[in-house]
Chains A and B, each alone.
Chain A
Amino acid sequence: MKKLLIFATITMMWLVTTAQAAEPLKILTWKGYAPQQLVDKFEKETGIKVELTLTNNEEMIAKLRATRGAGFDLAQPSQDRISSVQAEFKIYQPMDYSKIDSAQIIPSMLEAVQKNTKVGDASYGVPFCYGTSGLIVNTKLAPEAKDYSALLDKAYAGRISYRLKRPTLIALAFAGGDNPFAKYDDPAAYKKLMDGVAAKMIAAKPYVKNYWSNGDALLEMIRSGEVTVAMGWDNGGWKLHAENPDIDFVAPKSGALGWIDTFAIPAKAKNVDGAYKWINFIMRPENAAVFSNMEKYATASKDAAKYLDADVRDNISRSFTAADIDNIKWYPPVSAEIEQLEGKILDMVKAAQ
């Protein structure tokens, strides 16, 4: 009887430990944020299997909201989309910064993200990578496209593409000489500003080829010459520049829009240890550089620069002057009310004939 008991206990313990080791790390992230090469390396190093689900900001929030923060161990929302969502739906758990190897991260960026993702006494985000939205231009076919206003320009009729999402509204407001971020606290003034932007977008709608929703599809349209002026992420423009020197990312005159994507841990994450391990693993300079070299995004890892390919380092100096960098408009945290208001305006633009 005693023997049987011991045997049973040992089997149970064995089952429990193997079950723990087999607990996969489920990451909800963007395309390209977890290169296969790094996933393999991580699995070899820690024995934790990684499962990726690729998505975008809006779907990330909706997925976590549906399960009240369960089903994933790590998410990668943009820093401006965390605090208001957390305040209302409580889908993340506070980040334990003592478990983060903060020496690996650019200090000013870590501080900024900590400040912007603060709800109550706790902060919820750690920076992963950053970049800008601006114009991807075929400089041979559209040499004059220097600002967002080119997206409304008849000169490029049928050759324009952008996302029908909030960055486009904000960009066009900046191009019109306004500062939409300053009106985040005043929904009525913000709505008036955006109604004006929407009216311009509807008037210029005939010149748009389509509203892109898939980054690869956009790059394919620019590559084939179907689109010559597009609003997109800097890394997309740089990827195309490597294939065709005529195409490049252009930092718009009224300011590129700067975003920081982060790590945040969902409220009901099962493999929290694994999540911290992944963060510290991927922010290690040599690993962060693998990601940057591959996807051309700038990493928040501090010493990754020395592992970067020369052409990746050149990208920034080619597209941005020092003044352009100072002129980057970083997204402040946005409230749910502003997003609802924008959603309705975007529907209006899409429905307009």
Chain B
Amino acid sequence: MKNHLRLGLFIFLTPVLLWLLLLIIVPHIELLIMSLHGKNDTGDMVWTLANYRHFFTEEIYWYTFVRTALYAIIVTILTFLVTFPVAFYITKVVSPRLTGFLTILLLMPFWVSELVRVYGWMILLRESGVINHLLVSTGLLKVPVEMLYNDISMLMGLVYTSMLFMVVPLISSLESMDDSLIEAAHDLGASPTTIFLRIIIPYAAPGITSGAIVVFMLALGNYLTPKLMGGKNSLWFTEQIYNEFIASFNWNQGAAFGFLLLALSSILIWSGLKISRQHLGKALS
């Protein structure tokens, strides 16, 4: 009987293990080996740490990384500020019958691919676009202004594309919250601010944490939105990796950047968890 169970477990586990091994672990090992190789002065491939050293010695590389990470943090905070009221409204304010309908309404735009959504924003915001046309024809503006290709439009695009991943965990954590907790606090004379900070936020913390991790990683690893909406100033770290692979043919350097992105973003998330005193296991459960 026990042997049977083990065999069954083994059979069911094999696809998962194969998936992990062949599609994730093996390619990463190859990338790791690649990142540790480089050309020496005579043009031969040798083991070296030069690719990693370049990241720290060449100003432009770590500058791009710091910029990308800072913007990803800003995007995470903005996304939280935008989606929390929405999630609260859906779960606590409207009648429960509408909750499902409103959630579907929120999910709807995400049935369309990210590329199409970004182009949609570009049509709205560009100089000869819809919003400029409306503003000029109503006389609010004399000449159309360019709203695309700056950091603000890029941030907006990133917040928009990652909203879903914040709102879903927020809704699920707020849904399980008992309304009577808020009512009791109210009856005992707590102000709305106190209720928000001492009751609602701590209760929703696991949802906030998991949403924030996902949004941060998505923003950090995004390629499309910064390139299309950010325009001329928006060198994103992922674009740097793409450039190393595609434009410079330097796969070794690109692989090293990939690992640095993995390591540095893990460190950022770990320190975020420490600062907010959250636990990864609790946030993901």
Contact = CB atoms under 8 A, between A and B. Distances in A.
B183 interface: no
Given A226-B128, A340-B250, A344-B248, A205 B235 contact: no
A350 B232 contact: yes
Contacts, number: 66
B245 A62 contact: yes
Given A339-B247, A340-B250, A347 B232 contact: no
A208 B232 contact: yes
A344 B249 CA distance: 12
A353 interface: yes
Interface residues of B, number: 26
Nearest to B253: A340
A351 B232 CA distance: 8
Contacts of A339: 247-249
Contacts of A340: 248-250
Nearest to A89: B249
A345 to B, nearest CB: 10
A351 B247 contact: no
A247 to B, nearest CB: 15
B221 interface: no
Contacts of B227: 213
A146 B64 CA distance: 35
Nearest to A58: B246
Interface residues of A, number: 29
Most A Cβ at <10 Å: residue of B58, B127, B148, B232: B232
A210 B246 CA distance: 21
21 contacts: A58-B246, A58-B247, A59-B246, A61-B249, A65-B251, A165-B247, A205-B232, A208-B232, A209-B146, A209-B232, A226-B128, A339-B248, A340-B250, A342-B248, A343-B247, A343-B250, A346-B243, A347-B60, A347-B235, A350-B232, A351-B64
Interface of A: 58-59, 61-62, 65, 85, 158, 165, 205, 208-211, 213, 224-226, 336, 339-340, 342-344, 346-348, 350-351, 353
Interface of B: 58, 60, 63-64, 126-128, 146, 148-149, 227, 231-233, 235, 239-240, 243-251
